[in-house]
Amino acid sequence: MTEQGIKQRGMAPQGTDTAEAAKPVTAKPVTTKYVLAGFGGQGVLFVGKVLAQAGMMAKKQVTWIPAYGPEMRGGTANCSVIISDRKIGSPTVGKPSVCLTMNQAAYEKFLHTIVPGGVLYVNSSIVADLPGRDDIRIVKAPVNDLAHDLGSAKVANIVMLGIMQALTPSVSDKELEDALMQLAGKKPELAELNRQALKAGMEFANRL
Amino acid sequence: MAILMKGNEAIAEAAIQAGCRLFCGYPITPSTEIPEYMAKKMKKAGGTYLQAESEVAAIYMVYGAGAAGARVMSGTSSPGFSLMQEGLSYLFAAEIPCVIADVMRGGPGLGGLGPTQADYFQLTKGGGHGDYHPIVLAPATVQEMIDLTKEAFDLADIYRNPVILAVDGILGQMMEPVEFPGTYKAKILPAKTWAADGCEGRPKNNVISYYLSSEAGEADNLRWGKKMAQMQAAEQRFAELSLDDAEYAFVAFGTSSRITETAIDMLRSEGVKVGLFRPISLWPFPVEGLQKRVPQIKGWMSIELSAGQMVQDVRLAVNGRAPVGFYGRQGGMIPEPEEIVAAFKTQILQGGVQR
Amino acid sequence: MKTVFAKTAGLTDRVTHYCPGCTHGIIHRLIGEILEEMEIIGKTVGVAPVGCAGFCENYFACDIIGAAHGRAVAVATGAKRAHPDRVVFTYQGDGDGASIGLAETVSAAARGEKLTSIFVNNAIYGMTGGQMAPTTLLGMKTATSPYGRDESMGYPLDLPKLLAQVRGAAYVASVSVDNPQAVREAKKALKKAFQVQLDGLGYSFVSILSTCPTNWGVTPVEALEWVRTKMKPYFALGELKVPAEEGGGEE
């Protein structure tokens, strides 16, 4: 596992993805490009919506595009999200800087699309220990198990969102939680579960 | 307050806000969120969502409702739009206002579900029989879809002409922050005194599309020609980006214009003075705006999700005064900005394309 | 002087273009009379087909929308859904309603669209000069079945019989206008069809066996005889489906 301190040297990838990505992150506008992928039902589209909602609430530019059509059939799902400090040109994400793979098919499909210096989050509860890459950070987290410990396997996606927030945040913790509550906080018991899941993810990440 | 909304849903909501109370359609990917949203919201708005047995029937339901004076629309994707072409010819001839959204996907044939702009010809050239053009509007953001949808209904009523929203699958499926009601201000419109909605208290109206003699047929066609000339004079729309100091220009609409914007950033960072001319009305094509830039531009390049359709209109407008290149992807594939940069360098900077 | 007969206000003063011996004129008059008697001329929208009746907007006194070939019922659906308080009818030939527009007819019936279709069946394409229709009888010679229609060209479609099976169709009748009594019965059926629409019960459909002396190559008198001897035995006649309160409909 590559465990470089992405957070310490800034979250923006140092790769060759776009002009703005190649610039130092501290003074320049930041653009984060996500691909979030897994089985249908694992909630990857929802994770994308929470990120986009949070980005919007943080007054950033955002886009969210689902893979649709034949890609939806056969149970796989993925979406692309961009969160940026500046106007978003191309809304499609061919080369993500942050990628989430909730199952093995997604891992195999997207591993080699990530820009050098990017981060790949892997649901290690169900993705086997496969060959990775040395030029990206790969964060493995058994989110199915972590969610199960919270009492609901359904929130594995939110646990992973918490991990992503801890390591590669695009918005503040509060903005993310507010966005999550807007989208999934209408029922009190669900709100509490989601809040716990987010927290569990962040705590897991801080132990890494 | 901004909300996140899919492009397809934004079209549907904007239509309801514009006073559309009847939607007739047949579900087809990637435009299904339009009928789904209408099915959910029309009833609450006091209107009707009507699922037709086919796109053929749908366009004629639109025809009947429009002829009876209603604000009516349909939404479909490329194969469905092909089926509507006969009806659009009739709608033009009978001068019935309506709005149709075409959320384009791959073709020809059943094709794929991925995004394309390969309906450009059939949208802008009058894809059915006879001499006609619908007005065709091409938004590039979800917010612009809201404003153009609202404007489309007014333009349809003003000219008594079909208006088409040309959207690719990405824009239909994409969520972006949007604000309602948007920036479009509704126009004051003439009463539909021509509508066939019952002749109580007035002479009877017929809304028809045939003529019995060739002389009458030519007269009708000449009158429609004048109307189309009026639309061409008054309704050319475009947007420009970084063109004031530009030596080179891309031409692109919809999603490809967004990708091109990123390519322009990359080229500008290398010191290449390049900008974007973005047609918003595909018909009438914004010839006048483009031609104003012809004297300063040393090379043009059309970027499309097709084999190169709009590039023909670009070449007509440039009229041999500079090279016009083209780069596109097909079948649902989306170009990366790097591909556009590379193609631009080969074709335009290195002179790969002659004028 | 006492007026004993006057032209109905449901028709305009235009002279029709129909051929001598064609029954479109009779059927137009019946519809015109019904619009007048039911006092619905001003609230009715008719939909014209493509075919011989494609110019009927010149003859009916109500508003008319001209449809494309086969699409009259879809057009009528749009008009009715836009204005549910209006009376909407289609006037179609056999090619329009039973061939190119069959999907529209059956689908509108299945949806129970509250409109009325008048289906004029003369077993031939009249407007284009006498080609085979979906209702052309076996053995019948037309411009595109010059040796007579045989099984390889398919069988004549009895559309009202088909529609009577469709749940959303509230009233389906098949009548003719080949003699004065038949004309009276046809008018009764047409009036009932409009009443079913006004009562909001569902789709109503009246098929009327009609003549085409020009394309059949016979005299007007022979044409009426041909309806009686050839068409009536083949096509089901009478009220094929009536609203539920009259014992019709299905569970």
Judge: domain A31-207, CATH 3.40.1170.60.
no
The string of DSSP codes covering B248-299 is: EEEE--HHHHHHHHHHHHHHHHTT--EEEEEESEEES--HHHHHHHTTT-SE
Which residue ranges of chain A lie beneath pLDDT 70? 1-27, 69-74
Under 8 Å CB-to-CB from C5, ≥6 apart: which residues?
none
Give me the sheet containing B324-328, strands edge to edge: B238-241, B274-279, B248-251, B299-304, B324-328
When pLDDT is cut at 50, 70 and 90, the band that residue C244 belongs to is: confident
Q: Mean pLDDT for chain C?
A: 96
B232-263: per-residue pLDDT in tens? 999 999 999 999 999 999 999 999 999 999 99
**Beta pairing, strands B274-279 & B238-241:** antiparallel
B163-213: per-residue pLDDT in tens? 999 999 999 999 999 999 999 999 999 999 999 999 999 999 999 999 889
Assess: ipTM above 0.90.
Answer: yes
Question: Do the chains contact at B169 and A52, CB–CB below 8 Å?
Answer: no
Asked whether the beta carbons of B238 and B280 are under 8 A apart, the reply is yes
Q: Which of A12-26, B216-230, C75-89 has the lowest mean pLDDT?
A: A12-26
Q: Is the CB of residue A182 less than 8 Å away from at least one CB of chain B?
A: no
Instruction: Name all domains of chain C by residue range, CATH numbers in brackets.
Output: 24-244 (3.40.50.970)
Under 8 Å CB-to-CB from B210, ≥6 apart: which residues?
B93, C54, C66
Domains of chain B, by residue range, sit at: 3-234, 238-349
- What residues in B contact A90, CB-CB < 8 Å? 258-259, 261-262, 336-337
Under 8 Å CB-to-CB from B226, ≥6 apart: which residues?
none
Domains of chain A, by residue range, sit at: 31-207
Nearest to C45 among B50, B60, B198 (CB): B198
Distance between CA atoms of residues B159 and B224, nearest Å: 10
Q: How far is A152 from chain B (nearest CA, A)?
A: 28
Nearest by Cα to B113 from B12, B32, B29, B56: B29
- Which CATH architecture group holds B3-234? 3-Layer(aba) Sandwich (3.40)
Distance between CA atoms of residues B149 and B146, nearest Å: 5
pLDDT of residue A157: 97
**Beta pairing, strands B72-76 & B22-25:** parallel
Distance between CA atoms of residues B145 and B142, nearest Å: 5
- For C74, which residue in chain B has the nearest alpha carbon? B61
Helix, strand, coil percent content, chain C, rounded in steps of 5: 40, 20, 40
By CB neighbour count within 10 A (0-12 exposed, 13-18 middle, 19+ buried), where does C58 fall? middle
When pLDDT is cut at 50, 70 and 90, the band that residue B337 belongs to is: very high
Nearest to A89 among B4, B114, B258 (CB): B258
C189-221: per-residue pLDDT in tens? 999 999 999 999 999 999 999 999 999 999 999
Q: How far is C231 from chain B (nearest CA, A)?
A: 31
Best residue of B38, B53, B192, B209 to probe chain C, by most C CBs closer than 10 Å: B53
Q: How many CB atoms lie within 10 A of CB C171?
A: 28
Nearest to B30 among A49, A68, A90 (CB): A68
Question: Do the chains contact at A68 and B29, CB–CB below 8 Å?
Answer: yes
Q: Is the CB of residue B77 less than 8 Å away from at least one CB of chain A?
A: no
Asked whether the beta carbons of B86 and B178 are under 8 A apart, the reply is no
Distance between CA atoms of residues A193 and A102, nearest Å: 20
Distance between CA atoms of residues A28 and A15, nearest Å: 15
- Which CATH architecture group holds B238-349? 3-Layer(aba) Sandwich (3.40)
Q: Is the CB of residue B317 less than 8 Å away from at least one CB of chain C?
A: no
- The DSSP letter of residue C98 is I
Question: Do the chains contact at B65 and C103, CB–CB below 8 Å?
Answer: no
Nearest by Cα to A150 from A208, A201, A207: A201
Q: Is the CB of residue B69 less than 8 Å away from at least one CB of chain C?
A: yes
Nearest by Cα to C212 from C33, C20, C35: C20
Q: How far is C233 from chain B (nearest CA, A)?
A: 33
B20-73: per-residue pLDDT in tens? 999 999 999 999 999 999 999 999 999 999 999 999 999 999 999 999 999 999
Q: Is the CB of residue B71 less than 8 Å away from at least one CB of chain A?
A: no
Q: How many CB atoms lie within 10 A of CB C179?
A: 12
Distance between CA atoms of residues C206 and C237, nearest Å: 10
Nearest to B65 among C66, C79, C104 (CB): C79
Q: Which of residues 143-182 of B touch C (CB under 8 A)?
A: none
- Which residues on adjacent β-strands are paired with residue B163? B99, B135
Q: How far is B194 from chain A (nearest CA, A)?
A: 42
Nearest to A65 among B2, B170, B269 (CB): B170
Nearest to B336 among A62, A91, A94 (CB): A94
Segment C103-131 mean pLDDT? 97
pLDDT of residue A110: 96
pLDDT of residue A25: 43
Distance between CA atoms of residues B298 and A27, nearest Å: 35
Best residue of C13, C36, C38, C75 to probe chain B, by most B CBs closer than 10 Å: C75
Number of helices (H) and strands (E), helices first, in chain A?
A: 6, 6
- What residues in B contact A94, CB-CB < 8 Å? 334, 336
B143-176: per-residue pLDDT in tens? 999 999 999 999 999 999 999 999 999 999 999 9
Q: Is the CB of residue B204 less than 8 Å away from at least one CB of chain C?
A: yes
- Which residues on adjacent β-strands are paired with residue C174? C207, C238
**Interchain touch B–C (≥3 Cβ pairs closer than 8 Å):** yes
Nearest to C74 among B21, B64, B205 (CB): B64
pLDDT of residue A3: 36
- Count CB pairs under 8 A between chains A and B: 76
Distance between CA atoms of residues C216 and C181, nearest Å: 24
